[in-house]
Structure 1
């Protein structure tokens, strides 16, 4: 599967919109910390996510960043993680046929 690893982070000024974005992101990736998710997405899934976010945010007040780390199966992010929770790249879920 042609998936890339993305880190998506956002700064949403309105609490109601923030909750909508948070709920949407939970369907696309793994929550890392407040307003930060890591996602394994195909190009189509990424395009869908961006389109949905574009429809929720107010462009004059909010900000969303989607950082592309490359092919999910071949990337080894170099991350410094301080504090109680470490960082582990999200892995592909098994496919059951």
Structure 2
């Protein structure tokens, strides 16, 4: 499915399996700028179309396409997604939209 160019925010789950520890750390650090870390190689993101495309391009610039695998699950428009997560152990807190004043 081609990336959506719209700037409407969608909720995403990004999951990755990176074979090299150095590349894994680079992807992990990159993903911290795009979403909330859920566990080991899983992030929950809330992104507009442009940021989603930017994220995917940055990931592609790090991974080895013959050895690594990244899955980006589009859950739909962030405002319409009734995210229900069953979390065993550590509490899950969904990403909420909020203004950041700089």
TM-score, normalization: structure 1? 0.90
What residue ranges of structure 1 are gaps of 5+ in the alignment? none
CA RMSD of aligned residues (A): 1.5
The alignment of Structure 1 onto Structure 2 pairs a total of residues equal to 96
1:5-24 maps to which residues of 2 (within 5 A)? 5-24=11-30
**Among 37, 48, 51, which residue is 2:54 paired with?**
48
State the shift of 1:87 in Å: 2.1
1:1-97 maps to which residues of 2 (within 5 A)? 2-83=8-89, 85-96=90-101
> For 2:61, what is the secondary structure of its paired residue?
helix
Q: Distance in 2 between matches of 1:12 and 1:33?
A: 14
TM-score, normalization: structure 2? 0.86
What residue ranges of structure 2 are gaps of 5+ in the alignment? 1-6
State the shift of 1:48 in Å: 0.5
User: After the TM superposition, which parts of structure 1 deviate over 3 Å for at least 4 consecutive aligned residues?
Assistant: none
Q: Distance in 1 between matches of 2:93 and 2:83?
A: 9
Which structure has greater helix proportion?
1
Q: Which region of structure 1 is more displaced relative to structure 2, 87-96 or 21-30?
A: 87-96
